[in-house]
């Protein structure tokens, strides 16, 4: 597999690792999202014990107001974070 294909597979497997622990395997509940953010992003996004920050991230991601985050909403978050990191490192050159 190419590097991009590996990255895509990693996004899928990471989402699947956390989704469905509380029911629907195709979405993340707020608690599942919190676990994913804590374990996969660490302090990059927010302090893991900051309930208000977790709530804000969840509400921003849950665009269809289904009270869950689907794969598309998750991928948009990862893409936005990746773009922000890229811009940060480009500006440091």
Of 15, 2, 7, nearest to 82 (Cα)? 7
Is pTM, for the whole model, over 0.85?
A: no
The answer to whether 29 and 23 have CB atoms below 8 angstroms apart is: yes
Mean pLDDT (10-residue bins), the chain, 93 residues: 96 95 90 89 68 82 88 92 82 74
Domain that holds residue 63: 28-92
How much is the CA Rg of the chain, to the nearest whole Å?
14
**Domain count across the chain:** 1
Residue 17: the pLDDT is: 96
Q: Within a domain: residue 21? A: no
Question: Cα–Cα distances in Å, from 10 out to 3, 21, 93?
Answer: 10, 19, 28
DSSP characters over 13-35: HHHHHHTTTTS-TTEE-HHHHHH
Q: Within a domain: residue 7? A: no
Residue 34: the pLDDT is: 87
């Amino acid at each position: 597999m190419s590097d991009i294909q590996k990255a895509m597979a990693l996004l899928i497997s990471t989402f699947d690792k956390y989704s469905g622990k509380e029911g629907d395997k195709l979405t993340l509940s707020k608690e599942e999202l919190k676990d994913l953010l804590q374990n996969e992003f660490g302090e990059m996004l927010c302090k893991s014990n900051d309930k208000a920050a977790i709530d804000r991230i969840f509400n921003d991601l849950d665009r269809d107001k289904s009270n869950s985050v689907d794969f598309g909403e998750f991928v948009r978050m990862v893409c936005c974070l990746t773009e922000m990191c890229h811009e940060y490192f480009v500006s440091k050159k």
